[in-house]
Amino acid sequence: MGGVRKRNKIRKLKAKKAGGLVDALFTSTQQKVFRLIFGQPDRKFFAQELIDLCRAGSGAVQREIAALLESGLVTAEVIGKQKYYQANKDSPIFEELFQIVQKTIGLAGPIKDALESLGTPIKLAFIFGSLAKGSAKSGSDVDVLVVSDGVAQDELYAALEPIEQILARKINPLLYSSSEFRDRVNSKNAFLETVLSGERIPLVGDENVITVG
């Protein structure tokens, strides 16, 4: 029992540390707006859509949009009767801001927090596919590979479902036990060879698990 409490305490401390960094960089409303706009820079959002997805006050979201427009970090385009907002890739700090958002609030952070909340050790987890390669479109799914000996598939789906709403993207988790994962790697499974030779965004664990026999 004491061991469980200790592990829970460690997880809370890690979450608090990560949350402290994000909170120092962005206000609560900024986190929600930046997560959407800079987490999906190819997507155009209209104001009410951002308000609905952020689940924040209309005034607060509108103020963030106005500030982003004034700073040149976001562009506006009128299509029909709607004004759409999109990350400005021509901004001199777009790439740096995009990377910060992706590593904290935009993609990796929320998924990592969800995996760590399961309370079961995750040996390895990473994002792969188009999002890891940087070639994702606005409607691209998030492909996540997870290696764990204690997490059930339904638990994994349940933990990630709320994150789909936060990211406004569908998450496709691929779950392996450690023995199954090693066996497939050692047998040179074509799919895993492609995944492991491609770009990955690390979430949890040490990739040395790949080569552990």
Query: Residues of the chain with pLDDT > 90: what percent?
Result: 52
CA distance 205 to 180: 17
pTM for the model: 0.69
Average pLDDT for 27-31: 89
Q: What is the pLDDT of residues 197-212, one digit of tens each?
A: 999 988 988 666 555 4
Please say whether the beta carbons of 101 and 35 come within 8 A. Answer: yes
Would the pLDDT of 112 be above 50?
A: yes
Return all residues near 176 (Cβ < 8 A) that are at least 6 apart.
145, 146, 147, 184
Mean per-residue pLDDT of the chain: 84
Least trusted range by pLDDT, from 49-53, 130-134, 177-181: 130-134
Greatest mean pLDDT range, 20-34, 126-140, 162-176 = 162-176
Q: What is the pLDDT of residue 136?
A: 73
From start to end of 80-122, where are the E strands? 82-87
In degrees and rounded to multiples of 5, residue 86 shows phi and psi of: -150, 150
Ordered domains of the chain (ranges, CATH): 21-97 (1.10.10.10), 106-209 (3.30.460.10)
Bridge partners for 77 per DSSP: 84
Task: Look at 146 and 134; give whichever has higher pLDDT.
Answer: 146
Q: What is the pLDDT of residue 21?
A: 66
Q: Which of 174, 170, 152, 153 is nearest to 161 (CA)?
A: 170
Query: Residues of the chain with pLDDT > 70: what percent?
Result: 86
Bridge partners for 173 per DSSP: 144
CA distance 5 to 139: 40
Task: Look at 35 and 4; give whichever has higher pLDDT.
Answer: 35
Return all residues near 211 (Cβ < 8 A) that are at least 6 apart.
185
